[in-house]
Chain A
Amino acid sequence: AQSVTQPDIHITVSEGASLELRCNYSYGATPYLFWYVQSPGQGLQLLLKYFSGDTLVQGIKGFEAEFKRSQSSFNLRKPSVHWSDAAEYFCAVRSSGGSYIPTFGRGTSLIVHP
């Protein structure tokens, strides 16, 4: 069975600082990987996804993530955080077949200090 671990429940950064949110997955074959963002009171918005090819993927809002098969990781990064990035971030993994519905991590809450 597939699973996702986001080891950090909360992350606090200063505005303008760099950000890295960690995600580790467990899946037997090549996974499909996603990062979603949830702003307060909102639904989930896709930031980026990895299906195959280049292991460094670019997303919206200046985010990027790198797939590292050897570490079973898909960490999310941003070079300079803005106050509007404060939100809940979810990593998700999906199989290449089957239900096509992703399994989510528990989420990381990002707090941005001015």
Chain B
Amino acid sequence: EAQVTQNPRYLITVTGKKLTVTCSQNMNHEYMSWYRQDPGLGLRQIYYSMNVEVTDKGDVPEGYKVSRKEKRNFPLILESPSPNQTSLYFCASSSGLNTEAFFGQGTRLTVV
């Protein structure tokens, strides 16, 4: 089954403790992206990647890192999480021109 898989689905952590949210897709898509969703703000793009080893900042990249060492994986790294990064995070992938983005189920992160 074609899918985008995020882990974990739920995470509660403390301020400053490094964490990684994994994202994997099995559709051989070149394009991957991370969004955060906050009430009243919709989905805002954090980082995106157009291919292996090619990443770029989205609209709200501060406090986040990503890597794209393999085509299928696009982890989101929070080196020192803060409470303002409490949010619902979505990973998405797309094969390019004439297709839509496919989304993971989301990761609800709480930083206390």
**In the bound complex, what is the Cα–Cα distance between A102 and B94 (angstroms)?**
10
Q: Does A101 lie within 8 Å of B31, measured CB to CB?
A: yes
Q: Does more than half of chain B's interface fall in helix, strand or loop, or is it mixed?
A: strand
Interface residue ranges of B10-32 to A (CB < 8 Å):
31
Q: Does B106 lie within 8 Å of A100, measured CB to CB?
A: no
**In the bound complex, what is the Cα–Cα distance between A36 and B100 (angstroms)?**
10
**A14-22, A60-68, A74-82, A104-112 - interface stretch:** A104-112
Q: Does B96 lie within 8 Å of A100, measured CB to CB?
A: yes
Q: Does A101 lie within 8 Å of B45, measured CB to CB?
A: yes
A residues whose Cβ falls under 8 Å from a Cβ of B = 6, 9, 34, 36, 42-44, 46, 49, 51, 90, 92, 94, 96-97, 99-107
Chain B's nearest CB lies how many Å from the CB of A51?
Answer: 6
Instruction: From known contacts A99-B50, A101-B45, infer whether A9 and B106 are also in contact, taking CB-CB under 8 Å.
Output: no
Chain A's nearest CB lies how many Å from the CB of B91?
Answer: 10
**B35-43, B65-73, B76-84 - interface stretch:** B35-43
**In the bound complex, what is the Cα–Cα distance between A99 and B47 (angstroms)?**
11
Q: Does B90 lie within 8 Å of A103, measured CB to CB?
A: no
B residues whose Cβ falls under 8 Å from a Cβ of A = 31, 33, 35, 40-45, 48, 50, 56, 58, 90, 92, 94, 96-98, 100-101, 103-106
Instruction: From known contacts A43-B90, A43-B103, A43-B104, infer whether A101 and B48 are also in contact, taking CB-CB under 8 Å.
Output: yes
Chain B's nearest CB lies how many Å from the CB of A70?
Answer: 24
**In the bound complex, what is the Cα–Cα distance between A94 and B96 (angstroms)?**
11
**In the bound complex, what is the Cα–Cα distance between A94 and B97 (angstroms)?**
10
Nearest A residue to B104 by beta-carbon distance? A43
Contact partners of B101 in chain A: CB under 8 A = 34, 92, 94, 100-102
Contact partners of B50 in chain A: CB under 8 A = 99-100
Q: Does B31 lie within 8 Å of A99, measured CB to CB?
A: yes
Q: Does B42 lie within 8 Å of A34, measured CB to CB?
A: no
11 further contact pairs, Cβ within 8 A, besides A36-B103, A103-B45: A6-B42, A42-B105, A42-B106, A49-B100, A51-B98, A99-B31, A100-B50, A100-B101, A102-B101, A104-B44, A105-B42
Q: Does B97 lie within 8 Å of A101, measured CB to CB?
A: no
